[in-house]
């Protein structure tokens, strides 16, 4: 409803009902799938479309077995069901996300002033903000994301506690934070999300190694690099081009990796060992905060490793590198560094650009032909 009222094309439509998830599953059978432990939901498939069906939430009851709350007030399981919109609305996070379209009379149901907040372009938490952030600290990230996406101001009562409760993000599962990072940076408003994360002291909760360098004043090139990377990401998304978490994280963690590699060299390591150890350690520390699937972690390391190979192979058998499946991502990252002002790679990036424009680039075929079975020679009958 929110996006429709703002004149935007909704990404998807969610359905709420008084039917329990198991009842939805029984009704749609093979076309449905139950997901989620914290919030039990049903995904119902119609062709290529997937409709998320949520059961109405009900008022909190400490004795209810469907809810589990930590001593700090964080809700880790919330499967207390209600029977109506009037029950469900108070469990939503922001007023602008608590608007319901009634298909029986085509009306909009608004119990919490969401329509007025949309008109005022204001993001406001439902209920006591401190309690709501304590229940789920990810709401601080969601506030940042929606403010960036919608261009809304955050209501002062909702805004003030964000830096205070941002520390609770350390209690969140790293896998969940990975999903939230992708929503923040792959939603078409990455640069503004980054600026708001920094404003509310949330960026360091997600990328502590990078934030330490910001706080140490070593942020000139790094800040330009991230702004270039996020601006390019937003542009690609607006043009309908693909983006990858690997490139995003390679940009966000590049300077911490470089900083650690230099320290390793100062401690006596040779160049190769220093960078190998730095790549391994930076990734290992980052996944403690924000989980990275192994394939993305491996690709990040390859993008970084290729920066050295691109420098070595300029003017020397370059076509061998161009055929590598990671060449394009590594080359794009090299160009990004040059655009951000890294003088050491400016000439190298230009050389690779000129080489590709002036040569026919061999295309790597990712699909290998299946080997044909050899026909056995039949023996002649005597």
> Domains in the chain, ordered, with CATH?
1-18+56-172 (3.30.460), 173-360 (1.10.3090.10)
Q: Is 234 a catalytic residue?
A: no
Q: For residue 343, what are the CA distances in angstroms to 42, 81, 118, 222, 346? A: 53, 59, 47, 14, 5
C-alpha to C-alpha distance for 183 and 125, rounded to whole angstroms = 19
Q: For residue 169, what are the CA distances in angstroms to 88, 132, 203, 227? A: 25, 13, 11, 24
Q: What is the pLDDT of residue 362?
A: 41
Q: What is the pLDDT of residue 157?
A: 98
Q: For residue 308, what are the CA distances in angstroms to 244, 252, 304, 330? A: 21, 18, 8, 10
Q: What is the pLDDT of residue 379?
A: 55
Q: What is the pLDDT of residue 82?
A: 86
The answer to whether 354 and 324 are in contact (CB under 8 A) is no
Q: Is 93 a catalytic residue?
A: yes
Among residues 88, 93, 110, 136, which one is catalytic? 93
Length of the chain: 382
Tokens of 317: 């058998």
Tokens of 203: 């960026």
Q: What is the pLDDT of residue 315?
A: 61
User: Which of left, alpha, beta for 342 (phi over 0: left; psi -120 to 50: alpha)?
Assistant: beta
Q: What is the pLDDT of residue 241?
A: 95
The answer to whether 305 and 221 are in contact (CB under 8 A) is no
Q: Is 12 a catalytic residue?
A: yes
Give the contacts of 342 (CB within 8 A, at least 6 positions apart): 221, 225
Tokens of 313: 């192979």
Q: What is the pLDDT along the chain (382 residues), one digit of tens a residue?
A: 899 999 998 887 889 999 999 999 999 988 999 998 777 899 999 888 899 999 998 876 554 444 455 545 555 556 688 888 888 898 899 999 999 999 889 999 999 999 999 999 999 999 999 999 999 999 999 999 999 999 999 999 999 999 999 999 999 999 999 999 999 999 999 999 999 999 999 999 999 999 999 988 767 899 999 999 999 999 999 999 999 999 999 999 999 999 999 999 999 999 999 999 999 999 999 999 999 999 999 999 999 999 998 988 766 677 878 888 889 999 999 999 999 999 999 999 999 999 888 865 444 433 344 444 555 555 555 4
């Amino acid at each position: 409803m929110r996006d429709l009222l703002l004149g935007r094309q909704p990404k998807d439509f969610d359905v709420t009902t008084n039917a329990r998830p198991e009842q939805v599953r029984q009704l749609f059978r093979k076309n449905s799938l139950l997901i989620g432990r914290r919030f039990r939901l049903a995904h119902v498939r119609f062709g290529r479309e997937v409709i998320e069906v949520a059961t109405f939430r009900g008022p909190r009851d400490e004795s209810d077995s469907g809810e589990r709350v930590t001593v700090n007030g964080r809700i880790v399981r919330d499967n207390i069901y209600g029977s109506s919109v009037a029950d469900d609305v108070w469990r939503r996070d922001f007023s602008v996300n608590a608007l319901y379209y009634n298909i029986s009379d085509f009306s909009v149901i608004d119990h919490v002033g969401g329509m007025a907040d949309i008109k005022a372009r204001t993001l406001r938490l439902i209920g006591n903000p401190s309690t709501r952030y304590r229940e789920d600290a990810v709401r601080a990230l969601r506030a940042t994301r929606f403010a960036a996406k919608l261009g809304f101001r955050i209501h002062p009562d909702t805004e003030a506690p964000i830096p205070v409760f941002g520390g609770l993000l350390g209690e969140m599962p790293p896998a969940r934070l990975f999903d939230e990072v992708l929503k923040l940076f792959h939603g078409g408003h990455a640069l503004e999300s980054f600026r708001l994360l920094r404003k509310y002291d949330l960026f360091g909760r997600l990328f502590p190694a990078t934030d330490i360098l910001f706080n140490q004043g070593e942020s000139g090139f790094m800040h330009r690099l991230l702004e270039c990377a996020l601006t390019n990401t937003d542009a690609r998304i607006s043009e309908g081009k693909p983006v990858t978490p690997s490139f995003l994280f390679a940009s966000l963690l590049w300077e911490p990796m470089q900083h650690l590699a230099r320290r390793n060299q100062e401690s006596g390591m040779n160049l190769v060992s220093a960078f190998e150890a730095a790549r391994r350690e930076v990734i290992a520390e980052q996944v403690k905060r924000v989980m990275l699937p192994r394939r993305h972690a491996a690709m990040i390391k390859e993008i970084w490793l290729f920066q050295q190979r691109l420098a070595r192979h300029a003017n020397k058998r370059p076509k061998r590198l161009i055929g590598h499946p990671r060449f394009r991502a590594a080359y794009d990252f090299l160009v990004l560094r040059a655009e951000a002002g890294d003088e050491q790679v400016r000439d190298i990036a230009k050389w690779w650009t000129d080489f590709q424009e002036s040569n026919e680039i061999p295309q790597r075929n990712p699909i290998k032909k299946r080997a044909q079975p050899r026909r056995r020679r039949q023996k002649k009958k005597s």
